[in-house]
A and B are shown apart, each in its own frame.
Chain A
């Protein structure tokens, strides 16, 4: 509105509205405490664009943020109006965005030449970038920025999240996922949302999900590698049929790799996904290790990326609350779209019930015995030496499973063997509300109405138990 008295914001209590004028190449960083929310608008009618981790804001639209630490960057300078009170807010001038943009353009250059090659040739393969580094250096943020930028140029990047300890991408924590991003991401909501029955103003992305069920790869390197190989096969098959995504390539986010022991795993990922670029954030030592390891590898670029000053160490309770929020969102949706999960009971003695557990090699011996009901010994568990998952007899299903997430696998309960269960993709997750040992049934929260399909169920140790209210 050009005329006084008609400004929409006038109707709101003006004392709660902050206005921040950003100069070109500045970044507005803000933190919002849990249970509070702020609304940010890119002021309509002014020049300038703004982006949140690579995804552009639309002029005049309200974006609501709650419980997050985030930043809005502008290449052009812009004006933001902020409603509500962020717990921290400041304007930063020093950002590594110019480097990230250079990286994007360099990747884009490779994509352009990939698009020029015949689709079936090796040359049509777009750049495949692996982001590695210690915790809290902004790996996921760089992955988001690169994804956002390539979407902005009309590309369809395949985004792969291998970080099981984080909040998860399009799924719950403890999963590894792959999804092609062919449409804009949600400014307010990380990588966005997976499909639901409700329509969504931001197109949802369809992920391929595997449940690993441990926080770090170390606990079950063997199964972690198997899942990666399995996913790599699926991703490569998809790319062969999906030329746009093939030309664009992969953007892979990883768990925190910061020491020598991960070298083997990094090499494994590089080989499985045919990585062409390794970008190291925040660790000079890791960078040099990688330089040495891959100096002889043809067509491999090892690059070092600066860390944003906006990266902050996130304390453990905060991370836990983020993870819980992700799980909660999986079942209940968010403010924009409320979902209604269903409470359903599962008969423990039914032939369609098959519960499996991930094996944590780091602590398996100790945990096993403590999990055993009184009067049982370890031999009654169907477990072998090298098993990465083990089947739980129905006698072992008790209240310790309450408040845990259980993955519903794609494999049918009757076909479930160790191999199938350990490599199967995920159909969805249920949340165990109550185990009634007398009645031989458990009450679970299921995202989808109707009976829980008779698929193998897999319970992990990650994410930890939580209370969904």
Chain B
């Protein structure tokens, strides 16, 4: 795209640019790339364009601020001067105004972006930072000030907890640290060359739906790079827990339970759970477990219970003990982690894969307990309302000398190989717990079904068993934000959920498309077809492009009805001489006995235009083939892209012509 011959005035350009910005509602790589390219091609109007962008960031709704700032970031990194100069002037105000109006997770994204501004653009020859150090320092100072209160609050809380638990500060407390410093939210040049298209992180949308196909292949440096370090931090926490539990475990397995022994067993569990609760005060599961334990303690110390009930309590306690420390990764996996960390960032781009869903899933994870235990937890699961506090805590740990800073990003120093002592305790604790028939329903949750004392008789069903609630909810802890469908927390579950969220996205898209056409109920199927039908096809990964998500049989119905390739002939006389836009030939109008109406044969309606079905199929194929990167299988999406592409191109050419 080169239009250097005709140059429109900066004012006109700015006006057009402003209207394009209005459409930038979600974090779409495609849109941001396009806007970046336009900014680059109209560098003579840089001042006007940067002003428009700044105004847009200031005026737009908080939900749209992040994509707009990503655009600023993209232009600064991919185009550079003079945009960096123009943006730099008001950077403090632009950034802080937006920062003060957005939610916690978005704030962290902004912070991550800010960190990248302090560094030179990756791949560039210049060693000076993207924006002048004094500009970013001013923002940093303001952020630190804003955090101070939260930090103090957090520290006070931590001291109280530690005093109660009798333990000192430990690296595990830093779980909440997002560890953003090493990750650039926008690696503009990696793998794409100096002027490659901009890759924003995947879009996030607070209702859990996916909006933008374009970012499907977008890398997710933040999540991927941070993961190992957080795992490390969590490991040490788990080892700490394992020490406590390992010591307590023998008691749990004593054959004859006594009230005193049970009380002894409960205390460390309560302490552990309290510690957990302190770390995750928003986690209702932990809250509930803690309450249940405290209640149990009260009952035990105030009442004399028969032996069989004591054994029941013991069984439940051992289950809780298991569920408290089971989430720790098995030792073998622990040892595999360090190499992962040494993977250079450049190759991460290759490995990231289509991970459209993971950011979204982290949102829902933040509310589920096992997510906090998940091996691959990412920084986003920090409760939204304490982002600044968490980060501040991290800084306070650095200043206290508990964490080292250095040339490597500080967050990674939390990842220390486990000491042999801890490892030993951990293993001994773990070795006792599994029984041969224990069934692990997910990576982080184990239910010992054979020990569940519930039988199918009226009396047994009456006894309230509050801990069953966690079996119900935690077996599959990884919940979809849109429809509450649940998945496991392991790799397969994540894959399934990603596919499921993609499905949501496609259905959402199709619902939007379908409102233009009349819809109808399908016929039911016969017995044979029903026997063969499998419902799970709705989320299948192996779905062919453009195929219906409702299962093959259902799809067949829809096709049966719609693929006869005729549409009712338009009543409007002006339209009767209609031609197909592709082949410019007329349609064949006939009386169709089944439809009991005049119809256009071999015709299909798309948008407001009518095509020959065969012509349309051909052109759809063509469009799908030429769509950028071919990352989306859905033809209609590709079409949308293409159309939008053309729209932008026409905007530009219009601009030129008017000049």
Q: B98 CB to closest chain A CB, in angstroms?
A: 12
Q: For residue B483, which residue of chain A has the nearest CB?
A: A184
Stretch at the interface among B192-200, B522-530, B647-655: B522-530
State which of A104, A184, A201 has its C-beta within 8 Å of the C-beta of B507: A201
Contact of A3 with B101 at beta-carbon distance under 8 Å, contacts A76-B284, A152-B472, A205-B535 already known: yes
Q: Is A80 an interface residue (CB 8 A)?
A: no
Roughly how many angstroms separate A426 CA and B521 CA in the complex, as a whole number?
A: 14
Establish whether residues A303 and B520, one from each chain, have CB atoms under 8 Å apart when the complex forms: no
* Known contacts A305-B461, A340-B520: A208-B530 contact under CB 8 Å: yes
For this complex, 30 residue pairs linking A to B, each with C-beta atoms less than 8 Å apart, are A2-B104, A58-B481, A98-B464, A102-B460, A105-B471, A106-B454, A106-B461, A153-B476, A183-B485, A183-B538, A195-B551, A195-B553, A197-B521, A198-B511, A200-B550, A201-B507, A201-B508, A206-B524, A206-B551, A287-B458, A301-B457, A303-B457, A303-B461, A306-B462, A330-B521, A341-B521, A345-B596, A426-B524, A448-B520, A450-B561
B658 on the A face (CB < 8 A): no
Q: Is the CB of A200 within 8 A of B507?
A: yes
Instruction: Let me know if A317 is at the binding interface, CB within 8 A.
Output: no
For the complex, is B381 an interface residue (Cβ under 8 Å from A)? no
Give me the 8 closest cross-chain CB pairs, A-B, nearest first.
A198-B519, A447-B521, A56-B484, A182-B535, A301-B456, A199-B510, A340-B518, A195-B554
Name the segment of A47-55, A136-144, A378-386 touching the other chain.
Answer: A47-55
Say if the beta carbon of A123 comes within 8 Å of chain B: no
Q: Looking across the interface, which residue of chain A has its beta carbon closest to that of B518?
A: A340
Which A94-131 residues sit within 8 Å CB-CB of chain B? Answer: 98-99, 101-110, 112-113, 116
Partner of A194, one of B287, B471, B524: B524
Which residues of B in the span 496-548 have a Cβ within 8 Å of any Cβ on A? Answer: 504, 507-508, 510-511, 514, 518-527, 530-536, 538-539, 548
Look across to chain B and name the residue whose beta carbon is closest to the beta carbon of A196.
B521
Q: Which of A2, A77, A171, A203 contacts B538 (CB 8 A)?
A: A203
Bin chain B's interface residue count. 35 or more
Residues of A within 8 A of B596 (CB): 344-345, 451
A374 interfacial by beta-carbon distance below 8 Å: no
Distance (Å) between the CB of B494 and the closest chain A CB? 15
A263 beta carbon closer than 8 Å to chain B: no
Contact, CB under 8 Å: A106 / B455: yes
A241 touches B461 (CB 8 A): no
Question: Are B476 and A152 in contact, with the CB atoms below 8 A?
Answer: yes
Q: What residues on B are CB-neighbors of A2 within 8 Å? A: 103-104, 384-385
* A208: B residues at CB distance < 8 A: 524-525, 527, 530
A252-260, A331-339, A398-406 - interface stretch: A331-339
Is A37's CB within 8 Å of the partner chain B?
no
Given A105-B468, A182-B535, A241-B532, answer yes or no on A195-B522 (Cβ-Cβ < 8 Å): yes
Contacts of A241 in B (CB 8 A): 531-532
Report the Cα distance A57→B481, complex, angstroms: 9
User: Could you tell me if B471 and A337 are in contact, using CB atoms closer than 8 angstroms?
Assistant: no
Complex contacts, A21 vs chain B, CB 8 Å: none
What is the minimal beta-carbon distance from A144 to any residue of chain B, in angstroms? 15
Residues of A within 8 A of B206 (CB): 44, 60
| B484:A57 contact, CB within 8 angstroms | yes
Are A102 and B463 in contact (CB-based, < 8 A)?
Answer: yes
**In the complex the two chains form, is B456's CB within 8 Å of A428's CB?**
no
Query: Least Cβ distance of A69 to chain B in Å?
Result: 22
Instruction: Write the chain B residue with the least CB distance to A330.
Output: B521
Closest to A111 in B: B449
Q: Quick one: which of B462, B486, B525, B593 contacts A152, CB cutoff 8 A?
A: B486
Q: What is the CA–CA distance of A241 and B514 in the complex, to the nearest angstrom?
A: 34
Contacting residue for B530 out of A59, A206, A345, A447, CB 8 A: A206
CA distance A199 to B510 in the complex (A): 6
Complex CA–CA separation, A26 to B424 (angstroms): 45
B594 interface contact, C-beta 8 A:
yes
CA gap between A203 and B555 in the complex, in Å: 13
B101/A6 in contact, CB under 8 A: yes
- Taking a contact as CB atoms under 8 Å apart, the answer to whether A199 and B523 are in contact is no
Question: Is B307 on the interface with A (CB-CB < 8 A)?
Answer: no
Asked whether any CB of chain B lies closer than 8 Å to the CB of A304, the reply is yes
Asked whether any CB of chain B lies closer than 8 Å to the CB of A24, the reply is: yes
B549 within 8 A of A: yes
Q: Which residue of B lies closest to A343 (CB)?
A: B596
- CB of A311 closer than 8 Å to a CB of B: no
Q: Give the CA-CA distance A209 to B284 in the complex, in Å.
A: 42
Instruction: With a 10 A CB-CB cut-off, give which of B437, B484, B504 has the most chain A CB atoms.
Output: B484
Q: How far is the CB of A172 from chain B (nearest CB, A)?
A: 11
The residue in chain B whose Cβ has the minimal distance to the Cβ of A240 is B531
Chain B window 478-499, contacts with chain A (Cβ cutoff 8 Å), 1 for yes, 0 for no = 0111111110100000000000
Asked if B284 and A197 make an inter-chain contact with CB atoms under 8 angstroms apart, the answer reads: no
Q: Is A149 an interface residue (CB 8 A)?
A: yes
List of B residues within 8 angstroms of A76 by Cβ? 284-285, 288, 469
Is B282 interfacial (CB 8 A cutoff)?
yes
Closest to B385 in A: A2
Would you give the shortest CB distance from A302 to chain B, in whole angstroms? 8
A153's nearest neighbour on chain B, judged by CB, is B475
Chain A residue contacts of B533, Cβ below 8 A: 206
Cβ contact within 8 Å between A197 and B288: no
- CB closest chain-A residue, reference B488: A154
The answer on a CB contact under 8 Å between A197 and B530 is: no
Cβ of B340 to closest chain A Cβ, rounded Å? 29
- Give the residue of A58, A98, A197, A340 whose beta carbon is less than 8 angstroms from that of B561: A197
Is the beta-carbon distance between B469 and A75 smaller than 8 angstroms?
yes
A331's partner among B100, B521, B531 (CB-CB below 8 A) is B521
Q: A102-B460, A106-B454 provided; 9 other pairs, C-beta below 8 A?
A: A3-B62, A55-B484, A154-B476, A196-B522, A199-B548, A339-B519, A339-B521, A448-B522, A453-B523
Decide if A1 is an interface residue (CB 8 Å cutoff).
yes
- Min CB distance, A202 to chain B, in Å? 6
B526→A197 contact, CB < 8 A: no
Candidates A195, A202, A339; contact of B557 at CB < 8 Å: A195
B 54-65 binary contact with A (CB < 8 Å = 1; else 0): 000000001000
Residues of chain B with a CB closer than 8 A to A108's CB: 449, 471
Please tell me if A61 contacts chain B, counting CB pairs below 8 Å.
Answer: yes
With A and B bound together, what is the CA distance between A18 and B518 in angstroms?
Answer: 37
Given the complex of chains A and B, what is the CA–CA distance between A200 and B511 in angstroms? 7
Are B561's CB and A199's CB within 8 A?
no
User: Could you tell me the distance between the alpha carbons of A21 and B284 in the complex, rounded to whole angstroms?
Assistant: 15
B468 touches A340 (CB 8 A): no
Q: Which of the listed residues A339, A450, A453 has the most CB atoms from chain B within 10 Å of its own CB?
A: A450
For B450, list chain A residues within 8 Å (CB).
109
Q: Does A373 contact B (CB under 8 A)?
A: no
A204 lies within 8 A of chain B by Cβ: yes
How far does the alpha carbon of A171 sit from the alpha carbon of B521 in the complex, in Å?
11
A35 within 8 A of B: no
B439 within 8 A of A: yes
1/0 contact string of B133-158 vs chain A (CB within 8 Å): 00000000000000000000000000
Bound: A450/B522 CA distance, A: 12
Taking CB atoms and an 8 Å cut-off, the chain A residues in 54-79 that contact chain B are 55-61, 75-77
- B523 lies within 8 A of A59 (CB): no
Known: A105-B454, A105-B468, A425-B524. A201 touches B519 (CB 8 A): no
Q: Within residues 359 to 389 of chain B, which ones have a CB less than 8 A from any CB in chain A?
A: 367, 384-385
Q: Nearest residue in A to B467 (C-beta to C-beta)?
A: A105
Please, how many angstroms separate the alpha-carbon atoms of A204 and B62 in the complex?
36
With both chains docked as a complex, state the minimum distance between the C-beta of A169 and any C-beta of chain B, in angstroms.
13
A427 at the interface (CB under 8 A from B): yes
- Find chain B residues with CB under 8 A from A24 CB: 288
B485 and A184 contacting across the interface, CB-CB below 8 Å: yes
Contact of A109 among B454, B520, B527 (CB under 8 A): B454
Closest beta carbon of chain B to A111's beta carbon, Å? 9
Whether B452 contacts A105 by the Cβ 8 Å rule is yes
- A410 contacts the other chain (Cβ, under 8 Å)? yes
Report Cα–Cα, A208/B385, bound state, in Å: 49
Chain A residues with Cβ under 8 A from B463's Cβ?
102
Asked if A314 is at the interface of the complex by the 8 Å CB criterion, the answer is no
Is A198 touching B514 in the complex (CB atoms < 8 A)? yes
